Amino acid sequence: MKILVTGGAGFIGKWVIDSLPSDTEIVIIDSLDPQVHKTSQNFAPELKARAVCIKDDVRNIETYRDIVEGTDIVIHLASQTGTGQSMYEVSKYVEHNANGTAKLLELISTLNHRPGRIILSSSRAIYGEGAYTDGQTVYYPKGRNLHDLKQDKWEVYSTRGEKLSVLPMRETQLPKPTSVYGLTKLWQEQLLQNYCESQNIDLAILRFQNVYGPKQELGNPYTGIIGIFTNAVVQGNTVELFEDGLMTRDFVFVKDVAEAVVKCAFYDKPLAATINIGSGKAVTLLELVQTLAQLTGKEAKVTVSGRFRVGDIRHAVADTNTFANIFGEWTPTPLKEGLAQYLDWYLTQSPVDKTAFELSLAEMEQKGLLISKHS
Ligand code: UD1
């Protein structure tokens, strides 16, 4: 079996490569983007030993046609991933995520042996604000508006002004992304759906919730909050929680994610499915910081700033039944256990300077995308 992994040197990619059976032939294409790969823009020796590694942007993949020829499965992970950054570096997100996928499909069209399956790492960002209920009716809100947010109205309300309760995100929901990033992930899904149907290629779209775990780049200020919050807690700095700190996310451990990808790769029947990959548990950001503090034996220093990021959603949690229905069961790692493994790894890494993160916040503020109600 020959597998092409785009973005294979990234956080999730490294775990996927580790989880693939030893007799699979692997080709990786990864640009080793300096924003993500802070410390080294070379492939790690263990990746070089395991796979044929191409250092280039996926948009240039046609150059490597001969190396890619014979691929049976494509695992498409290459993407720009920062929700906040996508709101001002718009063309970068469109170029990389949409055009990158388009170039990959153009290359596939030229191959003598077409892959039988493509797996896409999509995102829960395509659901936008998701689904809410007042106990009777289900609503799919468009997103929160600036006027409400500036008045500390963080939750999602009905048109009658009642606070609504969030429902788990289901794959059948109508996509309604609230960020440019989310839009570009939706375009990737649609490009692949259209293409794979016409070419008779089996497609599995995996919509990841907030993935965390060892090997997640620490120096990248646009990466997920677990790294940012851990840096602050371990160094005794104050964590800034936006809004009122009570927004929720579904944190899913990277090993579970990699195992899900590999299960999809080797599933022996056509999948033709869109599948949520999350823990199925909603955790408030405040609870997350408290858990990190408890596990590290540090004090949880928190400022609930009331600032907010344009394009952010309020709550997210996955309905994970589709995965269980296909594969029999889904037993995600509990957050405390995953965080403990993450911290074991984190403490072996060099301390991270918080300047890059502070600069990224200043940049967002200057662009009007990180707002305080007094601004
Ligand atoms: C994340 C990923 C995205 C992925 C999605 C779903 C990143 C940058 N984004 O988006 O690629 O597709 O999950 O899997 O990894 N916040 C604070 N204080 C801070 C920074 C952030 O309170 O200093 C808040 C934000 O306002 C937001 C929450 O933390 O409410 C999560 O932010 P973030 O980690 O950037 O991720 P998502 O937007 O959820």
Mean per-residue pLDDT over the chain, rounded: 96
Which of 314, 111, 60, 101 lies closest to 188, judged by CA? 101
pLDDT digits (tens, 9 = 90+) for 308-342: 998 899 999 999 999 999 999 999 999 999 999 99
Query: 214-233, pLDDT tens digit by residue?
Result: 999 998 888 889 999 999 99
Helix (H, G, I), strand (E, B) or coil at 345: helix
Q: CB of 31 within 8 A of CB of 54?
A: no
pLDDT at residue 375 greater than cutoff 70: no
The DSSP element (H or E) to which 212 belongs, if any, is strand 210-212
Burial status of residue 99 (CB atoms within 10 A of its CB: 0-12, 13-18, 19 or more): middle
* 81 CA closest ligand 1 atom index: 11
The two tokens of residue 327 are 């594969």
- For residue 318, what are the domain limits? 2-371
Measuring from atom 27 of ligand 1, which residue has the nearest CA? 312
User: How large a percentage of the chain has pLDDT more than 90?
Assistant: 91
Nearest CA to ligand 1 atom 35: 224
- Ligand 1: residues with CB < 6 A are 81-83, 123-125, 208-210, 222-225, 228, 240-242, 247, 249, 285, 309, 312
Q: Give mean pLDDT, residues 28-32.
A: 98
Q: What is the pLDDT of residue 224?
A: 86
Give tens-digit pLDDT for 263-302: 999 999 999 999 999 999 999 999 999 999 999 999 999 9
pLDDT score of 374: 65
**What is the CATH classification number for the domain harbouring 35?**
3.40.50.720
Compare 233 and 356 and report the one with higher pLDDT.
233
Among candidate residues 28, 76, 67, 29, the one with its CA nearest the CA of residue 265: 76
Beta strands in 109-187 (DSSP E): 117-123, 131-133, 138-139, 165-167
Query: In ligand 1, which atom is closest to the CA atom of 239?
Result: 23
Look at the chain and report how many structural domains it folds into.
Answer: 1
Q: Residue 94 is which amino acid?
A: V
pLDDT at 181: 96
Q: What integer is the mean pLDDT of 139-160?
A: 92
Whole-angstrom CA distances from 133 to 156, 168, 178, 282, 342 are 10, 11, 19, 16, 35
- pLDDT confidence of 86, banded at 50, 70, 90? very high
| Ligand 1 atom 37: residue of nearest CA | 83
- The share of the chain scoring above pLDDT 70, in percent, equals 99
Whether the predicted pLDDT of 365 surpasses 80: yes
* Residues acting as catalytic residues: 181
